[in-house]
Amino acid sequence: MLLFIARRLLSAIPVLFVVSLMTFVIMWLVPGDVSAEIGGTDATPEQIQQIREQLGIDRPLLERAVNWYGNLLRGDLGHSYLLNRSVVDAVLERLPVTLSLAGLSLVLATIMGTLLGILAAVRHNSWVDQGSMVAALIGLSIPDFWFGLVLIILFGVTLGWLPTGGFVPITEDVLGWVRCMTLPALTLAFTQMGVIARMTRSSMLDVLDQDFVRTARAKGMRARTVIFKHALRNALVPIVTVVGVTAGVLLSGAVVIESVFSLPGVGRLIVGSIQRRDFPVIQGGLLVTASIFVFVNIVVDMLYGWLDPRVRDER
Amino acid sequence: MTMLGTKRLTSFLRTLTMTSVLALAAVLPTGSAWAQVAGGELVVVQGSNPPSLDAMATSSGASRNINLNVYETLYGFDENVVPMPILAEGVNISEDGLTYVFPLRQGVKFHNGDEMKATDVKASLERYLKVGATPNLEPIEKIEVTGDYEVTLTMKRVTPTFLEAFSNPRSPAVIIPEEDINAEAGKTSLVGTGPYKITEYVPDSHVTLEKFADYTQDTRYAGPDGFGGKKTAYFDKVTFRIMPEPGAQVAALEAGEVDILDQIPVPAARRLANDANIKLYENLQWAFGTLILNANEPPTDNVKFREAVQVALNMEEIVGIASEGLFAANGGWAYPGTPYDVGDVGAADYYNKHDAEKAKALLAEAGYNNEPFTIITDNTIPFHGRAAVVIAEQLKAVGINVVINQVDFPTVLNLRMQDTGWNGWTLTMGIEPYLGPVAIVSTLTGKRPHFVKHDPELEALYQELITGATPEARKATFEKVQKRLYEYFGIIKLGDTGQMQASRANIEGFKTFRIPRVYDIWRAN
Amino acid sequence: MSAEALDIDQGKSLRGEMTSARRRRTLKFVRELADHPSFLIGATILAILTLIAVLAPWIAPYDPNKNNYRDVLMGPSSQFWFGTDGYGRDILSRVIYGLRVSLMIGLLVAILTGIFGTILGTAASYVRWLDGLLMRTLDGLMAFPGVLLAIALASALGPSEMTVIIALTVTYTPRTARVVRAAVLVVQGMQYVEAAKAVGAGHGRIIFRYILGNALSPLIVQMTFVFAVSIIAEAIMSFLGVGPPPPAPSLGNIIADGRTYIQEAWWVAVFPGIVIAVAVLGLNLMGDGLRDIIDPRHRSER
């Protein structure tokens, strides 16, 4: 097992290298640089040149790339051009927001999706089945920003139950954290639960059909016990797989949700940095999010092996 | 602390302050129903992050909104855009116009507790010359400390408009402690002399200000006036929340989570016009909408072509749609009723003509042959993109082959620095028309005029303008400037666009201004 | 008869059997599709929407880009069925034309990811030494949050429908490539491919005839889903300001424009929103149907 983890961690290195290399290529393609943001609308060409020299953006890309990798090996991701802090700090202070959002919505999506999926599988080929599956699909069919704004108006203004945006760290106020994260997490979960619901349904159908479930039923176990104890546990494998894939999607989705709900998360940090051409933050931020994605997938693979010994043995 | 977490706490505090105020009211003779209430928290919303809280190093409006509640300048504009002393006692200008002596107010405290002295002023102005975001102080030759509370500036040349430039809030020449003299741009200790001090900045979330208990009020005045005057901080804490989505901003205001929206979409304002919980503030003289033409790149290098564009446009439709209905169709290059307003001199025959026949005739005269006319615009400021779309449709209707290139703001600024590759650029000028003619004309002359190619005639008029000895003389020159702009057609005035602001109904004392002033406003009981 | 000739003969008959088996399977597949309720509903929805999109110039009541300052943000009426937007443009006409753009973007992204996914997936599974390199690169692309990649590419390439298509293609190709690779790996080990190799069929022939033929089904399912996801992704890109540029309408940029007025002029965002939802739902139903039929585990259940 340890060997497996070590191997997976090692194999993450080339992946992350590819990510950082791609970031350089994109930065090379993107027109304009941070000097425009610093200099403003009326800056003269001389002022712009001065800013570029100060920050070293006038140097050739290759030289900047070599420097960046050199610093990376020393664990230094550089300094933001605009935020007055190191890239590591800039990303770390945002991470709790994005992790809260992604984590909570993953939980919500899993709960809602699994329930819908089980419901559909248990009442297979009935209107409940069709209805749950359409419900699951609707989340996939509506742009999340629009859905989020509707939720804000409904729960924030009309009903006045929940705040319309902003972030409270869990360390400061647990209830406040729950209140401010509910709507964003729900929005994001709504777009993700469909995938989980469908996977759950089909794997449940497979499992329900298998001998041991039939046996259990024949032995007179109550239907609910059968479903939850046996069937669901076996159906966990595909759910976990989906969770791994969804983790990446959630980080992407977070970009939009964070701006609708005014959350200071990593997604908005990176988008803002792209828009302002704050290259060190783009580089560092993408490296961190990619690392999280890779890490989550390693965990998922481990869970996978733990849930299904056959998979582990194959490796 | 973050605003939402403190919401419960704040309402608790609010009740506390209210009771204490009530207790006071029982003892003291009560004033009018307008009695100011001290304490509590104010939440102001704006759409974008301040790029920097180093006031002199940025020209961003998002920064200015916050910074001018925190920092102060020697001179600043009063409500009527006339320079007034703020941290200075006044100014003595020598006969030859080359020496400016600024006696300073005594006893003014910085947020760090130190007193402001001449050495701090010298250090601040010297730092401005290095990192300041405008060339406003460029005429200064030498800065000398001529007393504990006196600074003397020696000029390179006579500059009658220097005091205006010195008062310019765009990138204000704020006074900061001497210790910050060597701080790189954006790396100061954030200490100023204003009624509020900065306590926290979380980008993409909020900036928190706290009432500065030892603030030294300027007792020469009766109340606040423009950027100066006697300022009183009533709220203990002021939070500027950064909320990018206008829809979410309005929702937060309606839910009562925030108190002031620096800008509310006009349709939302109309909907809330009769809402008893909301107050609206309208400022019609907020910005000029303009279309800048590249006089260096075909087909806009041809003045006949540019004229065709000018006469083809229906300004009411452009500015009406782009501003969502809060505008004035004004072809003049000053706001109506302001000192430099010269009416529609030069504009009468060209502005808002939507004359397709004349435009087509001019296009024929220019030998236009369906070359692409590329408008660059950004997706950051909604007015820019919307104006570009409407302009494009109108120009297509007279047979111009328009291409819209909507990109993000850095790309626009990068593109417009190129001499070629673009023909039109939609830009709102907010602070320039507020500052007056010099500020406007300076963007159209000098090293890099907005319309790329120099117009020698305009350059000459600019020199005449900045050296004009009296306001009357400058106004006469400005009349010539406006006429010239309607001959050169390098920049097309689309119209005046307004700004709509909103607050909760219990916010008293708020007046619309270039920045949301968070002092001298309070929450009614 | 030499042993060699016998081998070739056997190979021929083996191949003959396989083709006829494939033909039979194809027929069965079509029959099953015609029978499958969710596939039928999805396909019908898509057909209607496609028809509307194709006939846009004849159906749309107004010029979708015609501004009208007098009729800004008008509610639905007999004159403007879906109301007007902030420019006074007819939303119905814009939705009809926008459908055109959105479907075109979705379709092109689906086709392009299909092509590139197939090339990369096949190459990775067929050429052993390429596998590691290609898969790590694709993993890298997948680890790159899709929206951010799209924004960065859009900033780099400038705004256009083509940019949206390229950005989404780059984002979704890795997933498609993985699907193809997995399918090909399964097929590769199967007897008839081994047999074809044994009788000396060329690489090209093996790839096109046997391997891709069998990877096609999962690929088509994947493409249907990419089609659906791209339509939503276009809306999200428009929200972030990097969608198809104005004034041309797309379903996404109409919704993105209308989000500021959700309370004042709900019709701007709601009508295109419904159309997007219907389109995506239709595509997903189609994809589900296809998958049900292709995946033998589900076949028996119905």
Q: State whether C67 and B271 contact (CB < 8 Å).
A: no
- Asked if the C-beta of A79 comes within 8 angstroms of chain B's C-beta atoms, the answer is no
Q: Which H or E run includes B43?
A: strand B41-46
Looking at residue B52, its pLDDT comes to 87
Q: How far is C50 from chain B (nearest CA, A)?
A: 28
Q: What dotted CATH number matches B285-499? A: 3.10.105.10
- Shortest CB distance from C67 goes to which of B271, B390, B408? B390
DSSP state of B109: B
Name the C residues in 235-254 with CB < 8 Å from any A CB: 235-236, 239-240, 252
Looking at residue A157, its pLDDT comes to 87
- Shortest CB distance from C262 goes to which of A30, A124, A150? A150
The DSSP code sequence of A183-195 is HHHHHHHHHHHHH
Q: Give which of B469, B305, B274, B299 is closest to B373, Cα–Cα.
A: B299
Beta carbon pairs, A and B, within 8 Å: 142
Q: State whether B265 and C263 contact (CB < 8 Å).
A: no
Q: Which residues contact C278 (CB under 8 A, 6 or more apart)?
A: A141, C45, C49
Determine if residue B509 is left, alpha or beta; phi over 0 gives left, psi from -120 to 50 gives alpha, anything else beta.
left
- Residue C221's CATH number: 1.10.3720.10
pLDDT (tens digit, 9 = 90+) per residue, C115-161? 999 999 888 877 778 887 888 788 888 877 777 777 777 777 878 88
Q: How far is A41 from chain B (nearest CA, A)?
A: 7
Q: How far is A26 from chain B (nearest CA, A)?
A: 14
Looking at residue C8, its pLDDT comes to 40
- Asked if the C-beta of B406 comes within 8 angstroms of chain A's C-beta atoms, the answer is no
Residue A211 scores a pLDDT above 90: no
Contact B152, B146 (CB under 8 A): yes
Across the beta sheet with B150-155, the strand order is B92-93, B99-103, B150-155, B140-147
Name the C residues in 66-85 with CB < 8 Å from any A CB: none
All residue ranges of chain C with pLDDT < 70 are: 1-22, 189-193, 201, 207-213, 295-302
Burial of residue B32, with CB atoms counted within 10 A of its CB: 0-12 exposed, 13-18 middle, 19 or more buried: exposed
Q: How far is B129 from chain A (nearest CA, A)?
A: 13
Q: State whether C86 and B324 contact (CB < 8 Å).
A: yes
Q: Which residues contact C24 (CB under 8 A, 6 or more apart)?
A: none
Long-range pairs for B16-25: beta carbons < 8 A, 24 or more residues apart: B18/B525, B21/B525, B22/B525
Residues of A within 8 A of C297 (CB-CB) are 202, 206
Chains that touch C (3 or more CB pairs under 8 A): A, B
Average pLDDT for residues A186-195, to the nearest whole number?
A: 86
Burial of residue A168, with CB atoms counted within 10 A of its CB: 0-12 exposed, 13-18 middle, 19 or more buried: buried
Average pLDDT for residues A27-53, to the nearest whole number?
A: 74
- Asked if the C-beta of C255 comes within 8 angstroms of chain A's C-beta atoms, the answer is yes
- Asked if the C-beta of C274 comes within 8 angstroms of chain A's C-beta atoms, the answer is no
Q: Give the nearest chain A residue to C143 (CA atoms).
A: A290
Q: How far apart are CA A100 and CA A167, in angstroms?
A: 10
Residues of B within 8 A of C158 (CB-CB) are 405, 407, 411
Q: State whether B389 and C67 contact (CB < 8 Å).
A: yes
- Asked if the C-beta of B202 comes within 8 angstroms of chain A's C-beta atoms, the answer is yes
Residues of A within 8 A of B247 (CB-CB) are 149, 152-153
Tokens of B258: 């925030």
Residues of C within 8 A of B316 (CB-CB) are 69
- Asked if the C-beta of A126 comes within 8 angstroms of chain C's C-beta atoms, the answer is no
Looking at residue B99, its pLDDT comes to 95
Residues of C within 8 A of B393 (CB-CB) are 65-67, 247
Residues of B within 8 A of C259 (CB-CB) are 245, 247
- Asked if the C-beta of A19 comes within 8 angstroms of chain C's C-beta atoms, the answer is yes
Name the A residues in 132-191 with CB < 8 Å from any B CB: 149, 152-153, 156-157, 160, 163-169, 172-173, 176-177, 179-180
Q: What is the ipTM of this complex?
A: 0.85
Is C189 inside a domain boundary? yes
Is C245 inside a domain boundary? yes
Tokens of B93: 């200008």
Burial of residue B56, with CB atoms counted within 10 A of its CB: 0-12 exposed, 13-18 middle, 19 or more buried: buried
What is the pTM assigned to this prediction?
A: 0.87
- Asked if the C-beta of A210 comes within 8 angstroms of chain C's C-beta atoms, the answer is no
Q: How far is C58 from chain A (nearest CA, A)?
A: 28
Chains that touch B (3 or more CB pairs under 8 A): A, C
Beta strands in B302-351 (DSSP E): 327-328
Residue A263 scores a pLDDT above 80: yes
Q: What does each C-alpha distance from B40 to B14, B22, B210, B239 come to in angstroms?
A: 5, 14, 11, 11
The DSSP code sequence of B343-407 is TTTTTTTTTT---HHHHHHHHHHTT--S-EEEEEEESSSHHHHHHHHHHHHHHHHTT-EEEEEEE
Q: How far is B252 from chain A (nearest CA, A)?
A: 6
Is C14 inside a domain boundary? no
Residue with tokens 């989020």: A148
Is C237 inside a domain boundary? yes
- Shortest CB distance from A259 goes to which of B133, B245, B446? B245
- Asked if the C-beta of A302 comes within 8 angstroms of chain C's C-beta atoms, the answer is no
- Asked if the C-beta of A29 comes within 8 angstroms of chain B's C-beta atoms, the answer is no
- Shortest CB distance from C264 goes to which of B268, B385, B388? B268
Residues of A within 8 A of C136 (CB-CB) are 11, 14-15, 18
- Asked if the C-beta of B343 comes within 8 angstroms of chain C's C-beta atoms, the answer is no
Neighbours of A309 (CB within 10 A): 9
Contact A108, A192 (CB under 8 A): no
- Shortest CB distance from C246 goes to which of B250, B406, B407? B406
- Asked if the C-beta of B245 comes within 8 angstroms of chain C's C-beta atoms, the answer is yes
Q: State whether C69 and B407 contact (CB < 8 Å).
A: no
User: Structural domain boundaries of chain B?
Assistant: 48-229, 285-499
- Asked if the C-beta of C228 comes within 8 angstroms of chain A's C-beta atoms, the answer is yes
Q: How far is C71 from chain A (nearest CA, A)?
A: 24
Which class in CATH covers the domain with range B48-229?
alpha beta
Confidence grade of residue A310 (pLDDT, cut at 50, 70, 90): low
Q: State whether B51 and A42 contact (CB < 8 Å).
A: no
> For B239, how many CA atoms within 13 A lie in the half-sphere containing its CB?
23
Q: How far is B435 from chain A (nearest CA, A)?
A: 15
The residue segments making up the domain with residue C180 are 36-301
Looking at residue C22, its pLDDT comes to 65
All residue ranges of chain B with pLDDT < 50 are: 1-33
Q: How far is B342 from chain A (nearest CA, A)?
A: 26
Name the B residues in 254-293 with CB < 8 Å from any A CB: 254-255, 257
Chains that touch A (3 or more CB pairs under 8 A): B, C
Q: Give the nearest chain B residue to A41 (CA atoms).
A: B413
- Asked if the C-beta of A39 comes within 8 angstroms of chain B's C-beta atoms, the answer is yes
Residues of C within 8 A of A238 (CB-CB) are none
Is C224 inside a domain boundary? yes
Number of domains in chain C: 1
Q: How far is B265 from chain C (nearest CA, A)?
A: 8
